[in-house]
């Protein structure tokens, strides 16, 4: 870890303060902010960047000890003994001392913690600044009393006050990676940003306390805030001394935030709540008609909870639960919260209540809480009724071995068909995906189905097995099972009332069908099926909350094959997963999906980072195969053969063969990087995909042949013939463009390659676009096309592919580029000349030189040549 933490996120503040300091008419800048905001560091950076030999810097640090002494803050700059002649005008005497030290240079007073200045030092500074004999650069802590002499300087407009806000999340991530010397998990940096509220001091204390640990090459959140003496002392110093009632308010809110203001006031008193708010300990806000209370800083709660004695913690939790039940649990979240408080306080619960709480927590995607409730219910003797939701929660958390153990620990449900079907479905899911034993899942399928007579409940088991097949890449077999199910008449229902079913079987069957359809080239149908199911989450969320992830992934893959790279839905799902408690599998899988979208849009290094981050979370699960595929692909495109090879050589998960198949195309790109027979390898993969009926994968790998082989070569001609057939059967926008690319490349048709490149750019496939344009540039030997290819490739984070090899920048000088950009914006030569303080003839000469290098003839073509339209 770096001994001196990096400085980031303050470029705007530095620019604003630097502009003011550089203004001859300026008297200086006051930097204000809370403790730990980085005021002193910002002042040091300003002095480092803007200090010049023309200025004499007099540094002073005010402190409480020196505040009682005249000129205490400036004692090191002023002689200790005052001559008798100066006693009548001490301020004037001290000012002459400082100005004499500055000599002919301008005096710059740099004062840290100006709110602690003694009155004499403050008066001296005011005197020098008011006379414009010195400028001031000072820091002060917000919320503290500031000497009136200093306050008057900015209220009179002599100084500019710069208030430091919290660091943005991007800056926190940058600081963490620089300080730790390695990749930091995005979710971890987001959590630290939230806990520290963007405060650099708290951020550093959290890290040094051990909030992060390195696993699989990525720094990740350890799952809890470790006890840290210094961090606790900082927070307790910020909170200050509290009365017993104020302490009770803080403790109750820390354990239950957000809490209704009426509830807190009823447990303590309205006066105590108002006092805590006035001291800045809690904040109140409206949520509809309710007034909710939260702690004013996220770290307050972490520290208070960590330091709360066990018995008092239990008492506070019981108080919260009792009070909430008295006021009425009007919302499902209230029921869940009360149950959690009862559980944590050691209170008793009947098994049925715990099972209900487990299901509620799962539906809210609070996975860790669901697991706790489920385990408590199982311990209380709820049997299979508890084991089923507990296992589902453990599967969501990526803890498949524990899920299998929970299901094996209870007897087979005998009288309840619904429970029997649910347990069978979960066992198939656990064994197939979690334990990666698909053959065993196949053997379990028929016996499990034989024990269930209700048609709707049989559909749950069949739907799970069909999804198992689709995710293995056996999509044709999955569709055959679906057709068989649809064509088999339902047998007679046994006498008696039908068991309750939520329709989960129909949902699982449709999910499996959507997964298979997407890979068989029927992307639009797959996307529509997923949309229907996601729009109807109320029908299945309580029974199978994990479908939120699987449906999102299925739709993502179908949309990618369709040619739709819109990332908004994945981003929204990722944000939702980040808020979920303990659903790290969802966060990692969605991060891998986002990596794929970035790779396809040409951002190969961003994709590499995201995929590695996802892998660090999933390394011990079968789902790692998805991340490894993206790591391999992005690494190959980024010129990292060792990383690509390592990802390709990792064992594949048989149960997730579909994800493994999507890893295979990276082998061709690694071969291209290492000078191997890349196009031949891609053609072999296409033939394998064709044999399995995976039309989407065949389309992608055939197009890889076109991208990897020279235009007009035999592999391209062969791929073009087959791609035309594939495009006729594959829905969406991508397949026809891939086929057009193949046809244009096979015919070495330059204009057609240009048109294809622009169509790829329109889809956001910038790397594909750059490759097609580069191929066109070689065929046509046209500078404008080569310039367009270079501009597109420049947005692809230094991706390296055979088509882009040898591509060169147009070679504009800085001045040529500046003038070309101004011309592209619509300015005339005379206007450009006035803006740049040059002659119109100079502008014209530079433009002509730029035109020659870009291969264009007029200013209207500049935007396209420099890719300013993308």
Tell whether 459 and 558 lie within a shared domain.
Answer: yes
Which CATH number goes with the domain that contains 835? 1.10.10.10
Residue 29 β-bridge partners: 137, 160
Is the residue at 286 inside a domain?
no
Is the residue at 858 inside a domain?
yes
What stretches in the chain show pLDDT beneath 70?
Answer: 1-3, 50-53, 86-87, 227-228, 329-332, 348, 487-502, 867-870
Res 813: pLDDT: 84
Is the residue at 802 inside a domain?
no
Contact 782, 773 (CB under 8 A): no
Which CATH number goes with the domain that contains 139? 3.40.50.300
Residue 462's nearest CA partner among 446, 474, 438 is: 446
Tell whether 457 and 544 lie within a shared domain.
Answer: yes
Tell whether 419 and 510 lie within a shared domain.
Answer: yes
Tell whether 391 and 516 lie within a shared domain.
Answer: no
Q: How many domains does the chain have?
A: 6
Res 612: pLDDT: 95
Tell whether 439 and 451 lie within a shared domain.
Answer: yes
Res 502: pLDDT: 60
Is the residue at 800 inside a domain?
no
pLDDT in tens, 17-56: 888 887 777 889 999 999 889 999 999 988 887 666 678 8
Res 401: pLDDT: 95
- Both tokens of 213, joined, read 């640990």
pLDDT in tens, 244-297: 999 999 999 999 999 999 999 999 999 999 999 999 899 999 887 889 999 998
Is the residue at 649 inside a domain?
yes
Tell whether 548 and 436 lie within a shared domain.
Answer: yes
The set of residues, in sequence order, having a beta carbon less than 8 Å from that of 23 and lying 6+ positions away, is none
Q: How many residues does the chain have?
A: 870
Tell whether 21 and 148 lie within a shared domain.
Answer: yes
Q: Are strands 290-295 and 282-287 parallel, antiparallel or unpaired?
A: antiparallel
How does DSSP classify residue 108? E
Tell whether 209 and 103 lie within a shared domain.
Answer: no
The set of residues, in sequence order, having a beta carbon less than 8 Å from that of 32 and lying 6+ positions away, is 39, 139, 140, 141, 142, 161, 162, 163, 164
Res 375: pLDDT: 95
Give the CA distances from residue 323 to residues 311, 317, 329, in Å, rounded to whole numbers and listed in that order. Answer: 18, 10, 10
Tell whether 73 and 129 lie within a shared domain.
Answer: yes
Which residue range is the domain that position 119 belongs to?
11-81+90-163
- Last residue of one domain, picked from the residues 562, 581, 602: 562
- Last residue of one domain, picked from the residues 562, 594, 612: 562
In the numeric block, the tokens 């980024």 are attached to 638
The set of residues, in sequence order, having a beta carbon less than 8 Å from that of 141 and lying 6+ positions away, is 32, 33, 34, 35, 39, 113, 115
Res 867: pLDDT: 67
Report the C-alpha gap between 541 and 524 in whole angstroms.
24
Cβ atoms < 10 Å from Cβ of 662: 24
Render 245-304 in DSSP notation, one character per residue: HHHHHHHHHHHH-SEEHHHHHHHS-HHHHHHHHHTTSEEEEEETTEEEEEESSHHHHHHH
Tell whether 584 and 545 lie within a shared domain.
Answer: no
Report the C-alpha gap between 88 and 459 in whole angstroms.
99
Report the C-alpha gap between 517 and 159 in whole angstroms.
67
Is the residue at 248 inside a domain?
no
Tell whether 389 and 450 lie within a shared domain.
Answer: no
């Amino acid at each position: 870890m770096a001994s001196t933490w990096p400085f980031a996120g303050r470029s705007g503040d530095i620019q604003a303060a630097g502009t003011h300091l550089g203004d001859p008419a300026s008297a200086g800048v006051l930097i204000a902010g809370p403790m730990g905001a980085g005021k002193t560091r910002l002042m040091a950076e300003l002095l480092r960047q803007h200090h010049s030999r023309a200025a004499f810097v007099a540094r002073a640090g005010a402190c409480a000890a020196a505040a009682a002494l005249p000129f205490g803050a400036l004692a090191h700059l002023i002689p200790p003994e005052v001559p008798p002649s100066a006693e009548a005008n001490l301020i004037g005497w001290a000012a002459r001392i400082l100005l004499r030290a500055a000599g002919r240079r301008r005096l710059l007073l740099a004062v840290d913690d100006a709110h602690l200045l003694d009155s004499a030092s403050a008066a001296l500074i005011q005197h020098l600044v008011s006379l414009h004999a010195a400028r001031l650069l000072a820091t002060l802590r917000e919320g503290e009393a500031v000497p009136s002499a200093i306050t008057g300087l900015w209220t009179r407009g002599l100084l500019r006050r710069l208030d430091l806000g919290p660091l943005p999340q991007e800056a926190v991530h940058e600081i963490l990676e620089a300080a730790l010397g390695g990749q930091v998990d995005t979710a971890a940096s987001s959590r630290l940003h939230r806990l520290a509220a963007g405060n650099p001091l708290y951020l550093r204390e959290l890290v040094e306390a051990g909030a992060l640990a390195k696993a699989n090459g990525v720094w990740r959140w350890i799952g809890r805030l470790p006890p840290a003496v210094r961090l606790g002392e900082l927070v307790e110093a910020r909170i200050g001394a509290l009365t017993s009632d104020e302490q009770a308010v803080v403790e109750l809110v820390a354990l239950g935030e957000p809490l209704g203001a009426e509830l807190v006031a009823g447990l303590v008193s309205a006066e105590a709540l108002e006092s805590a708010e006035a001291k800045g300990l809690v904040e109140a806000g409206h949520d509809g008609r309710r007034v909710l209370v939260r702690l004013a800083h996220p770290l307050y709660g972490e520290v208070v909870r960590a330091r709360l004695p066990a018995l008092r913690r239990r008492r506070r939790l019981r108080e919260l639960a009792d009070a909430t039940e008295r006021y009425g649990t009007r919302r499902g979240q209230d029921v869940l919260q009360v149950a959690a408080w009862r559980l944590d306080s050691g209170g008793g619960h009947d098994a049925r209540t715990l099972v209900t709480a487990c299901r509620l927590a799962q539906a809210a995607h609070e996975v860790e809480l669901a697991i706790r409730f489920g385990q408590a219910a199982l311990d209380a003797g709820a049997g299979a009724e508890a084991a089923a939701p507990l296992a589902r929660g453990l599967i969501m958390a990526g803890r498949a071995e524990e899920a299998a153990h929970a299901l094996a620990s209870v007897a087979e449900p005998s009288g309840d068909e619904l429970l029997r079907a649910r347990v069978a479905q979960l066992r198939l899911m656990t064994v197939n995906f979690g334990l990666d034993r698909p053959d065993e899942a196949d053997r379990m399928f028929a016996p499990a189905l034989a024990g269930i007579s209700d048609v709707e409940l049989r559909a749950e088991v069949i739907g799970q097995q069909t999804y198992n097949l689709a995710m293995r890449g056996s999509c044709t077999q999955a569709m055959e099972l679906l057709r068989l199910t649809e064509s088999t008449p339902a047998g007679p229902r046994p006498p008696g009332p039908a068991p309750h079913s939520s329709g989960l079987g129909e949902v699982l069957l449709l999910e499996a069908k959507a997964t298979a359809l997407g890979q068989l080239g029927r992307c639009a149908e797959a996307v529509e099926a997923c949309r229907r199911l996601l729009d109807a989450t109320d029908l299945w969320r309580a029974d199978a909350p994990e479908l939120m992830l699987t449906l999102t992934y299925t739709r993502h893959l179908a949309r990618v094959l369709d040619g739709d790279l819109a990332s908004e839905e994945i981003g929204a799902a990722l944000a939702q997963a980040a808020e979920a408690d303990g659903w790290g599998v969802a966060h990692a899988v969605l991060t891998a999906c986002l990596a794929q979208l970035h790779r396809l849009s040409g951002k190969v290094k961003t994709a590499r980072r995201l995929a590695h981050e996802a892998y660090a979370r999933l390394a011990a699960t079968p789902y790692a195969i998805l991340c490894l595929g993206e790591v391999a692909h992005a690494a190959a495109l980024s010129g990292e053969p060792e990383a690509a090879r390592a990802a390709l050589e990792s064992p594949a998960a048989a149960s997730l063969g579909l994800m493994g198949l999507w890893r295979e195309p990276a082998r061709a790109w690694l071969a291209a990087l290492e000078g191997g027979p890349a196009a031949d390898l891609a053609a072999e993969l296409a033939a394998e995909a064709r044999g399995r009926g995976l039309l989407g994968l065949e389309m992608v790998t055939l197009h890889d042949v076109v991208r990897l082989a020279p235009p007009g070569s035999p592999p391209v001609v062969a791929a073009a013939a087959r791609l035309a057939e594939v495009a006729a059967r594959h829905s969406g926008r991508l397949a026809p463009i891939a086929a057009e690319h193949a046809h244009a490349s096979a015919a070495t048709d330059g204009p057609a390659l240009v048109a294809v490149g622009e169509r790829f750019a329109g889809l956001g496939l910038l790397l594909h676009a750059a490759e097609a344009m580069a191929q066109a540039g070689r065929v046509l030997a046209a500078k404008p096309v080569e310039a367009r290819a270079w501009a597109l490739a420049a947005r692809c984070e230094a991706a390296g592919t055979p088509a882009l090899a040898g591509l060169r920048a147009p070679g504009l000088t800085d001045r040529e580029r500046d003038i070309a950009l101004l011309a592209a914006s619509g300015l005339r030569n005379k206007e450009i000349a006035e803006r740049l303080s040059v002659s119109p003839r100079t502008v014209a000469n530079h433009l002509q030189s730029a035109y020659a290098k870009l291969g264009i003839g007029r200013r209207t073509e500049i935007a396209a040549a420099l890719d300013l339209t993308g």
